[in-house]
Amino acid sequence: MDGTTWLWLGTAGMLGGSAALFLAGGKRTQDEEGHSIAHGLVPLFAAIAYFALAVHQGQVTLSSGRVFLFARYLDWSVTTPVLLLGLSMTALHGAHRRAGLVAGLLASDVVMIVTGLFFGASQDPFMKWVWYIASCAAFIAVYYVLFGPLRAEAQMRDAERRSAYNRNVVILSVLWLIYPIVVILGPDGLEIWTATLATACITVLDLVAKVVYGFISMAGSRRITDADLARGDVSPAMVSTHSVPSGAPESAMTIQAGSVLQRRQI
């Protein structure tokens, strides 16, 4: 298959994955609903980028003759912060607890992507590797936060959140570690791999990191919600209106929230 075929496969896979994630997402609490919406949106944004690339609108031919797929970086600049925000919410039981830490994590991620964009667009060999080193430095900063202070926060939570964070951070980190290797071997880097091979690898990586990982993360969110509801560890304000049966009276939400609060007081 050529590169364009892989891009069309990526478009279809992302659209199908987004629809499946939205349909499978839980809505019993605002936290669970937030995770479901975030994971459904990630492949949807990616599908836009893949479609643009497939119709040759998300790329530019540089003066050297190399075709640079810049839409790929636009995709990552949106989707990777959303994935990191989801991890932060799992570790912190809501990202508002350490807003500065989360902001630093997301900022480092954006710096990593933007400097990677300049790396890919550079035709001067010296500046190309300056940008690559800068991107790797920001990448290390992201890993430091994930496995340092954020993981320490996760260890102070309940068993379900600890387990979900530890599993998710390892899966996502291993997948993300493969990206710079593929990029460096492809046309944007050392040109050891063909454009088709690099596109195929990144397409598969993207589908796993956005769709497959989304299902894994949502399964963890579902177990967390099950445990929270079983313990009564959900405030009335956090009970989602979607968990009230269709056709129930307007007072149903208040009754359900009150029952949750009553269980907490017991």
Mean pLDDT of the chain: 87
**Could you tell me the two tokens for 47?**
């599908």
Q: How confident is the model at residue 240, as a pLDDT?
A: 53
For residue 37, give every residue at least 6 positions away whose Cβ sits within 8 Å of its Cβ, in sequence order, or none: 22, 25
User: Strand, helix or coil at 154?
Assistant: helix
Residues 150-175: what's their mean pLDDT? 93
CA 17 – CA 249 distance, rounded (Å): 34
Residue 264 exposure: Cα atoms within 13 Å on the Cβ side: 14
Q: How confident is the model at residue 57, as a pLDDT?
A: 94
253 band by pLDDT with thresholds 50, 70 and 90: very low
Residues 101-126: what's their mean pLDDT? 96
User: Backbone phi, then psi, for 189, in 5-degree steps?
Assistant: -115, -110
Enter the DSSP assignment of 29: B
User: Strand, helix or coil at 157?
Assistant: coil
Per-residue pLDDT tens over the stretch 221-248: 999 888 888 887 665 445 555 444 444 4
Structural domains in the chain, sorted by start = 3-231 (1.20.1070.10)
Residues 132-160: what's their mean pLDDT? 94
- Please determine, for residue 251, whether its predicted confidence score (pLDDT) is greater than 60: no
Contact predicate 32/225, CB 8 Å: yes
**Could you tell me the two tokens for 145?**
């936060």
- Please determine, for residue 150, whether its predicted confidence score (pLDDT) is greater than 50: yes
Per-residue pLDDT tens over the stretch 34-53: 889 999 999 999 999 999 99
Residue where the block lists tokens 């790329």: 59
250 band by pLDDT with thresholds 50, 70 and 90: very low
Q: What is the pTM of this model?
A: 0.85
CA 228 – CA 194 distance, rounded (Å): 49
Per-residue pLDDT tens over the stretch 207-219: 999 999 999 999 9
Contact predicate 156/91, CB 8 Å: no
Q: How confident is the model at residue 88, as a pLDDT?
A: 92
Q: How confident is the model at residue 261, as a pLDDT?
A: 41
